[in-house]
Amino acid sequence: MSNYDSKALEWQRQVEQVDQQDVIVLENVDRWPAYNKIIETHSLSINLCSRGYCRTKYDTKEGVFQQHDIAVLLPSHFIMCYESSPDYLCTTIFVSQKLNSQMMNAIGKNIIRYHKDLTCHLNEEQFHNLNFMTHVMKKMCASNKSHRSEYIHHLTSIIFLMIDDYWTEKDNLREKRSEEIFSKFYDLLLKHYKESREVSFYAAKLCLTQKYLSSVIHKTTGTKASEWITNYIVMQAKKLLMEHPRRNIQTISYQLGFNDQAAFTRYFKRATGENPTQFRENDSE
């Protein structure tokens, strides 16, 4: 039997004992127990990567678990690891079903974040604080103190509350970043709406992919990026049509950056259901 096979068996043996011991801490885990094999998680586990990386698929999503990442694996999910770096090293805490229920009740509505995302990247201070707590937990698990069980329960709660705080900080940063992206997108729209009506144009200006920009705008505002562009141009068109009732449509088309009147008319009608002339006539009634 290879050294890797023996480690995998030992890993599995300890995992199977978690419900009897409440918590099991495995330090210096340098390899995944089964590569390219789908594993269904049966207990909660907290994984802290101290160096290297491993590439995984969590349910249907591809991901990378890397240095200073924390990964919380909930029961009844599917994970497969298909690659790890030679220097990969992590610490894993397995939590019994009983303690898992207590943790899930404690975080309440925040549980959805652990179903959606596999990892949360920690800064240096967060990583070292959590790493210290895992060492304390490891020592407590190995002790024979009369209140061992109570200590472990409290330590588990503290660790999970720390993780939940770190995840909240990450979500807040992500939300702030999304708001910044929208603000920059809207500023660009005000400046360049006559130049381009394509989301890809604004994505390139922001050095983002079109798909990512569209996703961020829709998630942040509830309106698609393409709709923001169309709505702004149409409102500019309506303003010109109303404020300058004698100005011909072709001139307004050029003012809005269209090559010809026909292109503007098609664009306006597709957005509003009526052509510019009909809008102007209805407005004057």
Q: Which domain holds residue 267?
A: 193-285
Q: Give the residue, 56 or 74, on which the prediction is more confident.
A: 56
Q: Is residue 183 part of a domain?
A: no
Q: Is residue 111 part of a domain?
A: yes
CATH classification of the domain holding 278: 1.10.10.60
The Cα–Cα gap between 14 and 110 comes to 29
Rounded to two decimals, the pTM is 0.62
What pLDDT does 255 receive?
93
The Cα–Cα gap between 65 and 56 comes to 7
The number of domains in the chain is 2
253-264 pLDDT, tens digit per residue, is 999 999 999 999
CATH classification of the domain holding 114: 2.60.120.280
The Cα–Cα gap between 220 and 70 comes to 26
Q: Average pLDDT of 121-133? A: 94
Who contacts 57 (Cβ-Cβ below 8 Å, separation ≥6)? 63, 79, 80, 82
80-108 pLDDT, tens digit per residue, is 888 999 999 999 998 888 777 776 666 65
- Helix (H, G, I), strand (E, B), or coil: what is residue 56? strand
